[in-house]
Amino acid sequence: MTGLLFLADWALRGAVLAVFCVALLRALRVRDAGVQWAAHAATLVTTLALPALLMIVPPLFRSSMAGAPAGEAVSEMSRWPEALLSIYAAVACALLFRLAAGVAMAAALRRGSKPTEIAGVLECSRVKVPVTVGVFSPSILLPADWREWPSEMLDAVLAHETSHATRRDPALRILATIHCALLWFSPVSWWLRARISRLAEHTSDDQAMAADRDRGAYAELLLEFARRPAGRPLTGAVGMAASVTEQRIDRILSGHTLSRGLRLPVLAAIALVALGSAYGVAAFQAAPPQAPQAPQAPQAPQAPQAPQAPQAPQAPQAPQAPQAPPPPAAAAEPTQAAPAAPPKPPRPPKGNGTKHRVPSGLTGDAEDAAVFGAQESIRSALQQLELAQKQVEMGAIQKALAGSNFSEERVHALEQQLSAVEKQLSARQVEFERMQKRLAEMTERLMEMNQRLRNSR
């Protein structure tokens, strides 16, 4: 995503430089083709240098357009960034490969040419029109029939091609093609390349017409070259008849003022304006959107105080054992039935009619544990009452045996009854001890649950 944004920003800044160049030339009413060519060439060079300037120039101006719309634009452009970068890279590589092939073919033409008696001029049988090739030391390639040309025609051709070689038009054309390959998605890059090529031909035409005053003859020369098969255009070469159009012929025949060439003050002024505009475009950077302040974290609520552990309910006191009935009279006959056992005292109602309340602040398992503990305490109290009743019955039976004269059968029956009561008493005693252990365990568990509840809050 960052690569796509960088390319879009680069293309936009280059377009701003091109618009500024055209607007300034029109505002100053510049008609000289050489000056216009120099201004557009400076725009091309500064556009190619923008990535380096963006890293060097400190930001001076910042736009206030930042916020939600920019974020929405970024989110819209963030779809399929890898696929878009792959498409961009494929097209750019194809254009750069085509450029490299054109430069290699132009170098092959230069190597296959033969030198002539004119300095800087080579003869090449593979070209049909005059061509200028070379980056650092350009050479002029003339077709094999150049010796048959009239002297005026040869002078005009040499003046035209020498103008290309002096301005290093082949090298500038390579730079323009690199610009188009890197920013192929921008229409401004293709327009700038075509504009520089057209202005270069206009400037060279002015130099040729300055050497040969006959404009009509020069126009016929261009038309003659245009009718020849020029072959495939090469990126590293500039042909004389590469762009012979009706507009170019009309300009030659219109009698316009010829270009007077580029002087040092004009070049210095163009360089200063180009550097200043490039500096301003590079220094203008959009202010990054301010990140929203993080909301303050809410204060943590104070943990509620843990409820106090409920006090275990006190077991109800066991009722006093009733007094044993008086023993039967000794004069009673042994055959009489044994006296009935004293009636059991009435069993008190469970819980003595009082409800055990669960302490407030306990919920869930804590409440259940408290209720269960209260129930266990009530059950233990009832067990104590039953144990006391059994003891009363045993005392009454023992007194009856000690103070009465019964038959052996009666005594045996009473002994059996006493033995059964003792067994029941021992069983109830064991059960009572077990219930006490359970009550103790439930009390400890209740304390642990209260401690956990207090820690969690």
Asked if 208 and 160 count as a contact pair (C-beta separation under 8 A), the reply is yes
Rounded CA-CA distance 279/46 in Å is 9
Residue 54 has pLDDT above 70, yes or no: yes
pLDDT of residue 441: 85
**Considering all CA atoms of the chain, what is the largest pairwise distance in Å, rounded to the nearest integer?**
183
Residue 308 pLDDT grade (very low, low, confident, very high; cuts 50, 70, 90): low
Query: What pLDDT score does 361 carry?
Result: 45
* pLDDT class of 397 with cuts at 50, 70, 90: low
Q: What does pLDDT average to over the chain? A: 76
Residues 292-304, mean pLDDT to the nearest whole number: 55
- Of the two residues 173 and 351, the one the predictor is more confident about is 173
pLDDT above 70: residue 358: no
- Tokens 């072959």 found at: 231
Strands, sheet with 131-133, edge to edge from the N-terminal-most edge strand: 114-115, 121-123, 139-142, 131-133, 237-239
Helix (H) or strand (E) holding 374: helix 365-403
CA 439 centroid distance within chain: 62
Percent of the chain with pLDDT over 90: 26
Question: Cβ contacts of residue 328 below 8 Å, gap of 6+?
Answer: 339, 400, 403, 404
Distances (CA, A) of 354 to 316, 331, 383, 422: 11, 50, 18, 33
State the pLDDT at residue 311: 55
Q: Which one, of 238, 103, 110, 119, lies nearest residue 168 by Cα? A: 238
CB distance 29 to 7 below 8 Å? no
What's the pLDDT band for 80 if we cut at 50, 70, 90? low
Beta strands in 71-127 (DSSP E): 114-115, 121-123
Cα–Cα distance measured from residue 286 to residue 272, given in angstroms and rounded to the nearest whole number: 25
| Band (173; pLDDT cuts 50, 70, 90) | very high
For residues 69-95, give the mean pLDDT: 72
Mean pLDDT confidence for 221-249 = 79
Q: At residue 35, does pLDDT exceed 60? A: yes
